[in-house]
Structure 1
Amino acid sequence: MTVQLSQPDFQRLIRIVSNLPDFANVRDRRRLVAGALEGVPKANIILAQLDLDGNPKNVAVEVVHFFANFGQVAYGKEALGVFLNYIQFSTSDEDTSFIQDLFQIYPLDTPATPNRLIDRWRGTDNMADIKEKIIGEDTLRHIYILDMALDAAKAVVHIKVPKSDGGTEAGTGFMIAPDLLMTNNHVIASQEEAEKAEYTFNYQLDKNGNQCPIITVNALPQGNFYTNSDLDFTVVTLHNIPDFGNHLKLKSKLVRQDERVAIIQHPGGHLKKISIQNNFVAYADTKDVQYTTSTLPGSSGSPVFDDDFQVVAIHHSGGMLIEPSTQRKYLRNAGTSMIAVLKDLQTNAPEIYAQLQGN
């Protein structure tokens, strides 16, 4: 059946949907709708019927109208009810209460009827179609990326910086040359802080779930040091460095919307982890890169990798961030593009830049 919303309820629902953090662009909208329809028969067919391109309000009208008129997506489940159940967890308390009230007013969860002949329903897919499907986004990857990720992880370092109040702050850094580490300016802002900090390699679990042996080193006194607060990055020279394999390659690459970026990090200042799913670029220019890849405090200074596990940005922050092109706020994480970082090093720290080019 169709769900006939009153005009006030319809208009308010349009406002709620259009303001969802995951309704900013076509990719986010598709992922949102796919998430709502996860496990629903013919979800891909339903998605194909929706036009998700356009400004948020117009697309919200399209989505709500479509679901209200679609009928049931599963026995006893109205399409609009399934969608509203999914999005209510991303709304304010007031909007969540409104959505829950809609379930009391409208037949969004249709009661089961005993005379329904379920066994007469047949889908149009054959058995081969049912057995093998790409569900939602295509998450299939070549197995060699696991090797690249493990190699890259060896160059990612836990940082602990003593503070004047007696406490410490944690961050992440990564080796960009045999003895050079990069992190954020807001993690290490001065040579003095660099020399007081501790840099720990191999702070992670092995394949058996046991903690690996760690090695902690310090900065080289009076070694090469450079920082830029605007671009939020710092380069520090370390000494007594353990064998960590290969340093990471910095790539002056303009990443594109909907490309993937993975982050190897020390989230919360704890054991090393990788974020490699739900990791799309939402915005990028030659300075700023914004993405949906997961991070936590303590992840500041982490390398942001492209699919070849070369560093295309350095992670620095997350939250409701302003997108430079639109000045609208979105819930995202963000970093500084290596285009801007390398250009700055070439101009203002030529010795460090030359060392990077020689490796």
Structure 2
Amino acid sequence: MSDTYLSQDDVVQLRDTAVETGLSDPALRNLLFAGILPKYRASLPILAAPGQQVQSDLNELNRVERLIDGTVPLAVWLRNATDQLTDAAARDVVLKALDRVARDAAGEPDVAPDVPTGESKEEIIFRDDTVPFGFLSDGERAGSSVARIKVLPYQGGALLQPVALPHSGTGWLIAPGLLVTNHHVVNARKRTDGRQQVADPSDLQLQARGSRSRFDYLSEDDTGAEEAQASELVAWDEELDYAVLRLTGAPPDTFLRIASAPLAVDKDTPVALNIIQHPGGEPKRIALRNNLAFEADDTDVRYFTDTRGGSSGSPVLTDDWTVVALHRGSRRVTDVSFQGKSTAFVNVGTQLSAIMRHLREHTPQIHDEIAAAQSR
């Protein structure tokens, strides 16, 4: 399997885009490397020709899975590049590469891309989109149950060599002391060549027990706060992409309420959804605007929102802050419109009802523990 995120053809296309749009200007190199560890940047070769410099930088970044601080340097470079571009076609080239890198770095599984045309603005223009003012304070309480989780990869019972670097995701409390996130977050493996290496069950348990969940990470200035550890990975499923961890270390007493039935979506009555998340392992954020359910079936919910790598494992909530789905990924799509405009993304989450059904069938004691908490 390849050890790089992008093919050489992809790198060449990015180089050509950078040259054509002026991103290869040496004066912009500092901006493109903003947020990447200076010590790593200083180790990169310096070339005289701007185009060769960009390709050299991309080749070097493409070979690094992540740095010691857990960041994926190629994803940071691509994100910085999109911020500098105004040409739509050029941004599309860079965003497609960024999507692939962010998805593979997180180990995010493929989600079927065949989605039909979405809602148009005319279908919701006469709908009252206001909510009670208490929506804000209720959302703040809901957010206290959401954490950034970091997971170190193990292989053969030891930290992955040569350097075990943390994978970041989002998790949330479904019952006192029980945190839910994606299986691929706990699996802590990047995707290569369209596939993801799956950790051995014993290594998966080690990774879960070595994880750290922080519930109060609200800004970059928040340092040194207490993190909750996990004592055990009590339930998981790769296909539904969920994992349940039992936490220690005094996690919050609060937990999120979950839907008892699958979310149903009527094309004529869009459902607003909200996602509390830690994108890229960064401080807590919330997606509220332009975030409507697109379609749903018994297992999946598809919706429009803003998420990034690291948002995997986030709760997808309705306006009463009930969790209806576990966010697991986003896909770039074509020929899909939203509010009269073409949209490049459809996000996908697993219905909580499907997860609870799977728990009832495979780990009934965990299902009953959650159900008892939810019935209080």
Q: TM-score band (shorter)? A: 0.5 to 0.7
**Residue pair 1:151, 1:245 contacting (<8 A) in 2 also:** no
Aligned residue number for residue 238 of structure 1 = 247
Q: CA deviation at 1:267?
A: 0.8
Shift of 1:254: 2.7
Answer whether contact 1:283 1:291 (CA < 8 A) is retained: yes
RMSD of aligned residue pairs (Cα, Å): 2.8
- 2:345 maps to which of 331, 334, 347: 331
2-structure distance, mates of 1:180, 1:289: 23
Give the SS at the match of 2:186.
coil
Matches of 2:273 and 2:182, distance apart in 1: 18
Structure 1 spans left out of the alignment, 5+ residues: 1-88, 96-133, 324-328
8 Å contact from structure 1 (residues 202, 212) kept in 2: no
For 1:261, the aligned partner's letter is L
260 and 253 in structure 1: CA distance in 2 versus 1, 3 angstrom threshold: farther
Q: Does 1:202 align with 2:213?
A: no
CA distance in 1, matches of 2:352, 2:222: 32
User: What letter corresponds to residue 226 of structure 1 in structure 2?
Assistant: A
User: Shift in Å at residue 350 of structure 1?
Assistant: 0.4
CA distance in 2, matches of 1:143, 1:210: 29
In the TM superposition, residue 234 of structure 1 has moved relative to its aligned partner by 0.2
Counterparts of 1:199 and 1:232, CA distance in 2: 19
SS in 1 for 2:132: coil
* Preserved CA contact (<8 Å) 1:154 1:245: no
The answer to whether residue 235 in structure 2 is matched with residue 226 in structure 1 is yes
Question: How big is the shift at 1:336?
Answer: 0.3
In the TM superposition, residue 245 of structure 1 has moved relative to its aligned partner by 4.1
State the number of aligned residues: 221
- Give distance in 2, aligned partners of 1:157 and 1:264: 9
TM-score relative to the length of structure 1: 0.57
Is there any run of 5+ residues in structure 2 with no aligned partner, and where?
Answer: 1-85, 93-123, 154-159, 188-203, 336-342
**CA separation of 1:270 and 1:91: change in aligned 2, threshold 3 A:** closer
Counterparts of 1:140 and 1:212, CA distance in 2: 36
Cα separation, 2, equivalents of 1:161 and 1:224: 12
SS of residue in 1 equivalent to 2:184: coil
**Alpha-carbon distance between aligned partners in 2 of 1:322 and 1:346, rounded to the nearest angstrom:** 38
Cα distance in 2 for partners of 1:141, 1:345 equals 34
Question: Is the counterpart of residue 175 in structure 1 residue 173 in structure 2?
Answer: yes
Hey, what's the Cα distance between the residues in 2 that align with 1:211 and 1:278?
29
Identity across matched positions, percent:
33
1:317 has 2:326 as partner: no
Other-structure match for 2:133: 143
Residues 176 and 253 in structure 2, CA contact (< 8 A), matched pair in contact too: no
| Matching residue of 1:185 | 183
Corresponding letter in the other structure for 1:276: L
2:216 counterpart of 1:216: no
Q: Distance in 1 between matches of 2:305 and 2:278?
A: 14
Alignment of 1:1-359 (within 5 A): 92=89, 138-163=128-153, 164=160, 165-189=163-187, 190-205=204-219, 211=222, 214-220=225-231, 223=232, 225-242=234-251, 244-255=252-263, 256-257=265-266, 258-320=270-332, 331-359=345-373
Q: Secondary structure at the match of 2:168?
A: strand
* C-alpha distance after superposition, 1:251-275 (max 9, x if no partner): 1333214201100000111000110
Residues 1:179 and 1:321: Cα distance change in structure 2 (over 3 Å): farther
Rounded to whole Å, the distance in 2 between the matches of 1:154 and 1:213 is 17
| Equivalent residues of 2:183, 2:236 under 8 A apart | yes
SS state at 1:230 partner = coil
Aligned-partner SS, 1:296: coil
Return structure 1 stretches of 4+ with deviation > 3 angstroms: 89-93, 134-139, 209-213
Q: Taking structure 2 as the reference length, what is the TM-score of the superposition?
A: 0.54
Letter in 2 for 1:269: G
